[in-house]
Amino acid sequence: MANPFPIPLNALRAIEIVARRGALAPAAEELGVTVGAVSQHLRRAEERLGVELFERTPLGLRPLPALQQVLPQLTSGFTALADGLKALSAADDGVINVTMGSVFASRWLIWRVHKFTALSGIEVRLTVTGTMLDLARADIDCGIRYGHGDWSGVDTKLIGGREFQPVAAPELLERFEELDLGKMPVIADSTSMLDWPLWLAAAGLAPETPLNGPVYSDASLAFDAAISGQGVLLAADMMSADAVSDGRLRRPFDRPVAGLSGYFLATAKGRRETKKLRAFRDWLTAEVPASAGGYVAQLNARTPPPEGDGRAF
């Protein structure tokens, strides 16, 4: 019987990773070998298969059409293998590993994740990073990503965050007699995908209105800057709901606009939907609409305000 694997599985895995990532280093890191060893895997595989797999370009390695055509099958196959190995042990059934950006983690999930654990008995382990990690990795079950939801090799489900509008601290607004963004400091988040011209046009203002103010390259810091009164920030309603509900921020224009981007639950294409992944998805589907008024508002609706300044936290 002919060998169905004319090249070693480790070499096949190296091919799959390099084809997705466009470089040797990610494959070397995941396989625990040197970059040179990965290069050898690719060269020998091409020799045995009699097919050239990659185009070597100044921007990295690009899969040629023959490999590009079968890449989804390779990715799904290795994802299924990883899931199968995890299924052999029940040790991970009580833990779900999720990767996400700092804003979603710090402004929304961290205040609610205990509710999911209490309901499901599943512990959530977070990998918080601005980098879009490889969701096919065996140590990641899913991710929360912000964008259009059309990432290659990924299945997505929209969970919210498409509406956005300006927010500002009350003390900043009190310094100005009128709402004129051309005269007020406006915080620029250089990592944001939110569209000021789109919001300005929808609000009946000139899209070319010059906006000036402090610039931040971290979305979470931009939120903190807005709360501290440094300027007006364009923010997703989902992310600003808690700060608005407890009075740290206000929505001075009260004009939400729906954009094309949003927060998506993302999984590697072909990944088997485990019970814990289904539970997390179902919880997000229910919790996001329920949190529209802000978590602090929910707390205040259930418990009397504490003595002092009346804030819940």
Domain membership flag for residue 313: no
Amino acid in the structure at residue 103: V
Average pLDDT over residues 1-29: 83
User: Whole-model pTM above 0.85?
Assistant: no
Domain membership flag for residue 108: yes
Please tell me the predicted confidence (pLDDT) of residue 2: 58
Regarding whether 271 and 239 lie in a shared domain, the answer is no
Three-class DSSP category at 227: helix
Regarding whether 267 and 148 lie in a shared domain, the answer is yes
Regarding whether 136 and 53 lie in a shared domain, the answer is no
Q: Residue 36's domain spans which residues?
A: 9-87
Regarding whether 251 and 186 lie in a shared domain, the answer is yes
Domain membership flag for residue 34: yes
Regarding whether 83 and 24 lie in a shared domain, the answer is yes
How confident is the model over 274-302, as pLDDT tens digits?
899 999 999 999 999 888 765 444 444 44
Please tell me the predicted confidence (pLDDT) of residue 272: 80
CB atoms within 10 A of CB 227: 17
Q: Are strands 142-147 and 262-268 parallel, antiparallel or unpaired?
A: antiparallel
Regarding whether 280 and 196 lie in a shared domain, the answer is no
Helices and strands per DSSP (H, E), number in the chain? 12, 12
Regarding whether 238 and 209 lie in a shared domain, the answer is yes
Domain membership flag for residue 2: no
8 A C-beta contact, residue 256 and residue 237: yes
Regarding whether 198 and 69 lie in a shared domain, the answer is no
Q: Comparing 191 with 88, which gets the higher pLDDT? A: 191
Q: How far apart are CA 130 and CA 111, in angstroms?
A: 20
How confident is the model over 85-122, as pLDDT tens digits?
766 655 567 899 999 998 999 999 999 999 999 999 99
Output the 3-class SS for 160-178.
ECCEEEEEECHHHHCCCCC
Three-class DSSP category at 167: strand
Domain membership flag for residue 3: no
Q: Which of 87, 121, 141 is the last residue of a domain?
A: 87
Q: Which of 43, 62, 87 is the last residue of a domain?
A: 87
CB atoms within 10 A of CB 306: 11
Q: Into how many domains does the chain fold?
A: 3
Domain membership flag for residue 135: yes
Q: Which of 69, 87, 105 is the last residue of a domain?
A: 87
Residue 226, domain CATH: 3.40.190.10
